[in-house]
């Protein structure tokens, strides 16, 4: 062994040999003496590594120093204690003789710092079995200094002792003392204190250890603040902090192998309810370390590897005859459903058999049953939706305050189901109690924002949009914001945001579709929209999707051929699945069809379709390059495909024993439509309204036969079902929700329907303005009262929806190719656009809608009761109601049943009856059609006595209507005096008009005044019912006497009127002599 100075560098596993005074370099340590006091520097470095949990460095130091062969007993005893400390901190099993501590503490050659180290390890040792003993030893120790303090606070000290530690000041504490303070605070669950001490530590000693301790403290503090809430429901600041901590943690994990980072990741993962994929991956790779923080980690779903087939197990649960399943089984079923592994129909079938979920808590059970009910509910099944609404109302009434205890993911899934069926107000009610004051853009908040928009809770939505940060960078929130601006008709801002959406999400069908829709709605230049279509990435519409289909319909409004080209590719991929979409696209855009042979967008896969015959059957198929087997497609590379591709129309080609005759060759898009029509008809099981007619050789007779059958189908709903009246608005929405103008005409022209229609007589008489929906517009147009309304000077408002519906109907019915055929009372009636152009009602409607102003609703929260009407009434009526409430403008509603309901909710309503009376007074006689509507359709209209009297002076239709009205209301007068006055005037006016206008050479019954007799007869009959007198003869004589009295200076007209009265008397077998007696008595009385 050399005795002179030497230098030797060592690593783990290297033996070190040196004389007692030799210099040994171990890493950064230099040992000049091997006595225990000379190991102070080594000990400090070793403890530094321990404090930093740098196990590798600590083990390297121990291994290297233990390799020195000339260490004395004291030195080896100290090293033994240091190794013991390392094992304790690592959680490894080790035993030691307690006398070892005493030996070194009593050794007078040991420096104080070494004794401090030994004392610290001794306290740590005692704490393994008794914190009380460890605490006593610490407080009584005469050797304790900073290293003992470190162990005491890290392992033993309670919260009160930690407070004393802090009170002593942190600025003069060593690094290892500050580390102990952080660990003490964490051990005592005082995470705020841990963050404060760790911040001081990291500021003074910026290194990996201090950064890790600060990150762990922050993660634990945030976890405590969130307090078990789902991270979707934390406030914005907390979410921002959580996201930042996750990024820091993942960055740390990429740079360092320190296993404490895994503990930070585990805490953060628990804070996110085990939903961050990167953290799951990191923790899954180090599950043993995770279990030091989360002991049950191996049982958590995020880390549990399922050894069962979820799909098969869920199928077995639902289809295996088990009608009562557990909550955990329901979770499996729900998961399989969300992944598309089982269907809604399978769930419904199970529920119909009596399936239910067992749960220890009744509220949890009801919540699960509601989720199941929402799964099987469909948007069009109003009965199911009503039942689901009732269950939700009951549940929310009893359990709103307990919603925070329910699984947020389950609530989110329920929200998605409710969104699918259109019950948005319940999404608002479910989510609202859960939200923090300043939420972030979480999926549950996205549900809430969309529901606020769709349920017209606009004030709440505006407040939310002002509160939440980063909404323009969130996919769904950006869509909500576009919808909000569109609602207020701030289209420039909506278009700006939609353009931003296409930039941020270039592969999103939704944002391309909404941008095109907005540009079309604002009448943007066609060149601008066409240029936009070229910017859509090709991959966006490469495969079918629901959003892609909506985009395709938007494209079709601008470039139908482009839309057809994409649809063709989808059809080639899946003919049966796409057949409904192909036909819908075709029929919805018939007005845009061009020459089918002029296709601008040829398919790379399909150049043509072919119609051929084989064995007396005819086939239509697409000729496609390299396609799979399909009964609707033929591969051009196949022998038959090659023959058909090369053949011309009229050619016959032979393949084997089969002969094929080419009947027609078509563009591929035309062929796809024809094939789709056949497929759609073949697969229709009664759930599709589509029907295919085959006329074959019947020609016109075949068409008329189908028209006859269709005309016999009831087009409207009966006004009364099982003794209960159904409001006209509900019936209109049920049968003609997509064709409101036609439906309004049908209902208002139906006698049975009109018998239950009443004009609301409460409300106010508008002085300045009123709001009209489609039904009101059609009523005013049909009756002709539109002219009086316009003369009144009242401003008439309609919503954008009403404007679009009416304008669209007028545009469609005025097209040159418009034609409808119907059978009315055994007569086939053909109607063209020219016929419609001559119709007074349609022209009145065109005039009226042209005079109405479009008004947008203000920001309000629609009353919950009214938001539930969206399934019951049409979009025009609901939007008009919303407009009326938001602007406090009276609403002209024709449904008195709904008016009574609205009146109770303090909605401003027009007094419909008085409004129509005023309109009638301002309408010229030649413009009025109210009497005609009343007689022909029993439509309730304002009819004054003067109106009937005026009609008596008009030949033909006028007198006919007057007579019919008099017959309809023979005893409808407030008093006998007024009855006599009106009946006398009607008789006089009709008699005088007929006498003056009658050609003496023509009998009355054949003249244009032939209905004069009907009027006189109606007046006579009415007089016998409503005038005063003991007998019919006396009451009739009163009328005759009054008429004759007014005609006494006109003998010819008197004789004319007497002739009419005599015929009535004879026809009704009255006593003529008694009438003469009554007349003479009346004459004497008056004289």
- Asked if pLDDT for residue 288 goes beyond 50, the answer is yes
pLDDT at 695: 67
Please report which confidence band the pLDDT of residue 230 belongs to, taking 50, 70 and 90 as the band edges. Answer: confident
Task: Please report whether residue 806 resides in a domain.
Answer: yes
- Between the two ends of the chain, the Cα-to-Cα distance in Å is 167
**993-1023 confidence digits (pLDDT tens):** 999 888 776 778 778 899 999 999 999 999 9
Task: Please report whether residue 249 resides in a domain.
Answer: yes
- Say which residues have a Cβ less than 8 Å from residue 207's Cβ, sequence separation at least 6: 52
Of the given ranges (314-318, 774-778, 1037-1041), which has the lowest mean pLDDT?
314-318
Domain holding 1056, by residue range, is 944-1086
Same domain, 847 and 736: yes
Same domain, 681 and 746: no
**122-137 confidence digits (pLDDT tens):** 999 999 999 999 999 9
What's the average model confidence in pLDDT over 407-416? Answer: 92
Per DSSP, what are the bridge partners of residue 725? 720
User: Which of 280-289, 590-599, 667-676 is modeled with the greatest confidence?
Assistant: 667-676
d(CA 633, CA 1064): 80
Same domain, 724 and 674: no
- Asked if pLDDT for residue 443 goes beyond 90, the answer is yes
Q: Would you say 904 and 757 are in contact if contact means Cβ atoms under 8 Å apart?
A: no
Task: Please report whether residue 973 resides in a domain.
Answer: yes
Same domain, 681 and 748: no
pLDDT at 647: 94
Name the maximum alpha-carbon separation found in the chain: 168
Task: Please report whether residue 1014 resides in a domain.
Answer: yes
- What DSSP element (H or E) covers 1015? helix 1012-1026
pTM of the model: 0.85
Residue 741, domain CATH: 3.40.50.1010
Annotate 966-977 with three-state secondary structure. HHHCCCCCCCHH
- Asked if pLDDT for residue 596 goes beyond 80, the answer is no
Provide the number of structural domains found in the chain: 4
d(CA 146, CA 144): 7
- Say which residues have a Cβ less than 8 Å from residue 536's Cβ, sequence separation at least 6: 512
Same domain, 735 and 861: yes
pLDDT at 37: 56
pLDDT at 318: 77
pLDDT at 41: 85
Please report which confidence band the pLDDT of residue 474 belongs to, taking 50, 70 and 90 as the band edges. Answer: very high
Task: Please report whether residue 418 resides in a domain.
Answer: no
pLDDT at 295: 85
Long-range contacts of 108-115 (CB under 8 A, 24+ apart): 109/35, 109/36, 109/37, 109/74, 110/36, 110/37, 110/74, 111/37, 111/40, 112/143, 112/145, 113/40, 113/43, 113/44, 113/145, 113/147, 114/36, 114/37, 114/39, 114/40, 114/43, 114/78, 115/143
- Asked if pLDDT for residue 697 goes beyond 70, the answer is no
Of the given ranges (80-94, 111-125, 908-922, 990-1004), which has the lowest mean pLDDT?
990-1004
d(CA 882, CA 9): 86
- Asked if pLDDT for residue 228 goes beyond 90, the answer is no
pLDDT at 264: 95
Q: Are strands 617-624 and 606-614 parallel, antiparallel or unpaired?
A: antiparallel
Task: Please report whether residue 902 resides in a domain.
Answer: yes
- Asked if pLDDT for residue 755 goes beyond 80, the answer is yes
Same domain, 767 and 882: yes
- Asked if pLDDT for residue 688 goes beyond 90, the answer is no
Looking at every residue in the chain, the average pLDDT score rounds to: 90
pLDDT at 10: 40
The alpha helices in 67-158, defined as continuous H runs, are 73-90, 99-106, 112-127, 131-140, 146-151
- Asked if pLDDT for residue 19 goes beyond 50, the answer is no
What's the average model confidence in pLDDT over 288-314? Answer: 72
Please report which confidence band the pLDDT of residue 309 belongs to, taking 50, 70 and 90 as the band edges. Answer: low
What's the average model confidence in pLDDT over 268-296? Answer: 88
β strands within 658-787, DSSP E: 658-666, 720-721, 724-725, 769-772
**Cα dihedral 261/267/269/274 (nearest 10):** 140
pLDDT at 846: 97
d(CA 427, CA 16): 74
Same domain, 990 and 1053: yes
Same domain, 885 and 958: no
Same domain, 857 and 992: no
Same domain, 745 and 790: yes
Which of 482, 490, 444 is CA-nearest to residue 465? 482
- Say which residues have a Cβ less than 8 Å from residue 387's Cβ, sequence separation at least 6: 373
Long-range contacts of 747-752 (CB under 8 A, 24+ apart): 747/716, 747/775, 748/775, 748/778, 748/779, 748/782, 748/933, 748/937, 748/939, 749/782, 749/933, 749/936, 749/937, 749/939, 750/716, 750/937, 751/937, 751/938, 752/718, 752/719
The DSSP letter of residue 822 is E
Domain-ending residue, one of 692, 711, 733: 692
Same domain, 874 and 965: no
Same domain, 776 and 849: yes
What's the average model confidence in pLDDT over 466-477? Answer: 90
Q: Would you say 851 and 796 are in contact if contact means Cβ atoms under 8 Å apart?
A: yes
Task: Please report whether residue 559 resides in a domain.
Answer: no
Task: Please report whether residue 595 resides in a domain.
Answer: no
What's the average model confidence in pLDDT over 170-196? Answer: 95
**532-572 confidence digits (pLDDT tens):** 999 999 899 999 999 999 999 999 999 999 999 999 999 99
Please report which confidence band the pLDDT of residue 9 belongs to, taking 50, 70 and 90 as the band edges. Answer: very low
Domain-ending residue, one of 277, 305, 333: 305
Residue 650, domain CATH: 3.10.50.30
Domain-ending residue, one of 674, 692, 710: 692
Which of 591, 593, 604, 537 is CA-nearest to residue 561? 593
SS3 648: coil
Say how many residues make up the chain: 1087
The DSSP letter of residue 1005 is G
Measured CA distances, 305 to 284, 299, 327, 524 (Å): 11, 9, 20, 55
**502-539 confidence digits (pLDDT tens):** 999 999 999 999 999 999 999 999 999 999 999 999 89
């Amino acid at each position: 062994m050399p005795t002179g100075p030497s230098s030797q560098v060592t690593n783990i596993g290297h033996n070190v040999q040196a004389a007692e005074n030799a210099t040994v370099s171990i890493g950064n340590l230099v040992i000049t003496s091997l006595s225990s006091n000379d190991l102070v520097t080594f000990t400090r470095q070793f403890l530094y590594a321990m404090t930093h949990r740098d196990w590798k460095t600590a083990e390297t130091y121990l291994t290297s120093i233990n390799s020195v062969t000339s260490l004395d007993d004291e030195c080896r005893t100290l090293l033994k204690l240091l190794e013991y400390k390392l094992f304790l901190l690592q959680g490894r099993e080790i035993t030691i003789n307690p006398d070892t501590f005493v030996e070194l503490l009593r050794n007078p050659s040991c420096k104080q710092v070494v004794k401090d180290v030994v004392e610290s390890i001794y306290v740590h040792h005692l704490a393994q079995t008794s914190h009380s003993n460890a605490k006593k030893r610490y407080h009584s120790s005469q050797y304790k200094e900073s290293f003992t303090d470190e162990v005491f606070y890290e392992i033993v000290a309670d919260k009160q002792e930690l407070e004393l530690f802090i009170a002593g000041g942190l600025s003069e504490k060593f690094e290892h003392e500050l580390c102990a303070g952080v660990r003490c605070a964490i051990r005592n669950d005082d995470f705020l204190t841990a963050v404060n001490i760790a911040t001081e530590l990291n500021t003074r000693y910026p290194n990996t250890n201090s950064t890790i301790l600060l990150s762990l403290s922050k993660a634990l503090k945030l976890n405590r603040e969130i307090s078990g809430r789902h991270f979707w429901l934390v406030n914005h600041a907390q979410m921002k902090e959580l996201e930042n901590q996750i990024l820091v943690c993942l960055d740390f994990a990429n740079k360092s192998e320190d296993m404490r980072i895994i503990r930070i990741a585990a805490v953060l993962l628990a804070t996110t309810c085990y939903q961050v994929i990167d953290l799951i991956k990191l923790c899954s790779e180090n599950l043993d370390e995770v279990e030091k923080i989360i002991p049950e980690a191996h049982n958590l779903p995020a880390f549990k590897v399922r050894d069962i087939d979820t799909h098969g197990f869920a199928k077995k649960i639902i289809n295996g005859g088990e009608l009562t399943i557990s909550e955990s089984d329901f979770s499996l079923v729900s998961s399989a459903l969300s992944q598309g592994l089982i269907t809604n129909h399978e769930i419904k079938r199970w529920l119909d058999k009596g399936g239910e979920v067992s749960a220890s808590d009744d509220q949890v059970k009801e919540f699960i049953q509601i989720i199941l009910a929402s799964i099987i509910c469909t948007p069009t099944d109003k009965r199911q939706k009503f039942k689901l609404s009732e269950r939700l109302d009951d549940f929310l009434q009893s359990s709103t305050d307990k919603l925070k205890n329910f699984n947020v993911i389950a609530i989110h899934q329920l929200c998605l189901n409710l969104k699918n069926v259109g019950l948005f107000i319940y999404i608002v009610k479910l989510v609202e109690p859960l939200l923090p004051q300043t939420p972030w853009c979480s999926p549950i908040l996205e549900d809430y924002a969309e529901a606020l928009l769709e349920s017209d809770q606009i004030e709440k939505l505006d407040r939310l949009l002002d509160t939440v940060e980063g909404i323009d960078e969130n996919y769904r929130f950006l869509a909500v914001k576009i919808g909000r601006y569109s609602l207020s008709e701030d289209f420039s801002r909506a278009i700006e945001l939609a353009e931003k959406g296409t930039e941020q999400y270039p592969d999103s069908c939704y944002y391309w579709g909404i941008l095109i829709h907005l540009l079309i709605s604002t009448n943007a230049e066609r060149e601008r929209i066409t240029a936009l279509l070229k910017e859509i990435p090709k991959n966006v519409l490469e495969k079918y999707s629901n959003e892609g289909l909506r985009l395709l319909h938007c494209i079709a409004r601008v470039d139908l051929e482009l839309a057809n080209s994409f649809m063709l590719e989808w059809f080639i991929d899946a003919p049966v699945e796409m057949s409904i979409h192909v036909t819908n696209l075709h029929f919805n855009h018939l007005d845009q069809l061009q020459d089918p042979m002029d296709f601008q967008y040829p398919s790379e896969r399909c150049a043509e379709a072919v119609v051929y015959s084989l064995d007396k059957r005819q086939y239509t198929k697409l000729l496609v390059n390299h396609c799979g087997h399909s009964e609707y497609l033929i591969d051009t590379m196949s022998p038959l495909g090659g023959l058909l591709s090369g053949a011309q129309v009229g050619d016959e080609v032979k393949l084997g024993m089969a002969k094929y005759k080419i009947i027609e060759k078509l563009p591929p898009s035309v062929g796809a439509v024809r094939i789709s029509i056949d497929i759609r008809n073949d697969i229709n099981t009664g759930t599709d309204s589509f029907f295919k007619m085959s006329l074959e050789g019947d020609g016109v007779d075949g068409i008329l036969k189908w028209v006859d059958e269709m005309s016999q189908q009831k087009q409207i709903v009966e006004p009364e079902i099982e003794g209960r009246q159904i409001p006209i608005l509900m019936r209109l929405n049920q049968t003609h929700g997509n064709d409101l103008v036609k439906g309004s005409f049908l209902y208002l022209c139906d006698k049975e329907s009109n018998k239950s229609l009443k004009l609301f007589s409460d409300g106010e008489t508008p002085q300045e303005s009123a709001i009209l929906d489609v039904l009101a517009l059609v009523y005013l147009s049909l009756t002709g009262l539109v002219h009086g309304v316009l003369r009144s000077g009242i401003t008439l408002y309609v919503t954008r929806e009403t404007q679009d519906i009416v304008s669209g109907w007028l545009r469609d019915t005025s097209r040159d190719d418009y034609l409808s055929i119907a059978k009315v009372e055994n007569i086939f009636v053909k109607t063209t656009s020219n016929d419609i152009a001559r119709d007074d009602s349609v022209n009145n409607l065109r005039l009226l809608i042209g005079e109405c102003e479009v008004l947008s609703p203000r920001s309000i929260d629609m009353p919950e009761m009214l938001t539930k009407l969206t399934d019951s009434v049409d979009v025009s009526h609901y939007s008009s109601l919303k407009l009326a409430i938001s602007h406090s403008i009276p609403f002209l509603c024709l449904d008195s049943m709904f008016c009574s309901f609205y009146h109770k909710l303090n909605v401003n309503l027009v007094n419909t009856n008085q409004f129509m009376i005023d309109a009638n007074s301002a309408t010229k006689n030649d413009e009025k059609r109210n009497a005609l509507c009343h007689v022909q359709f029993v439509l309730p209209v304002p009819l004054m006595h003067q109106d009937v009297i005026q009609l008596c002076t008009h030949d033909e239709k006028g007198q006919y209507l007057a007579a019919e009205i008099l017959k309809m209301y023979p005893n409808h007068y407030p008093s006998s005096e007024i009855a006599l006055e009106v009946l006398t005037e009607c008789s006089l006016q009709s008699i005088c008009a007929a006498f003056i206008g009658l050609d003496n050479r023509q009998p009355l019954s054949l003249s244009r005044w032939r209905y004069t007799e009907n009027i006189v007869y109606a007046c006579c009959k009415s007089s016998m019912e409503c005038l005063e007198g003991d007998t019919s003869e006396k009451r009739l004589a009163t009328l005759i006497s009054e008429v004759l009295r007014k005609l006494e200076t006109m003998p010819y007209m008197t004789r004319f009127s007497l002739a009419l009265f005599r015929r009535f008397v004879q026809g009704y077998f009255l006593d003529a002599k008694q009438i003469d007696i009554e007349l003479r008595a009346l004459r004497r009385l008056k004289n």
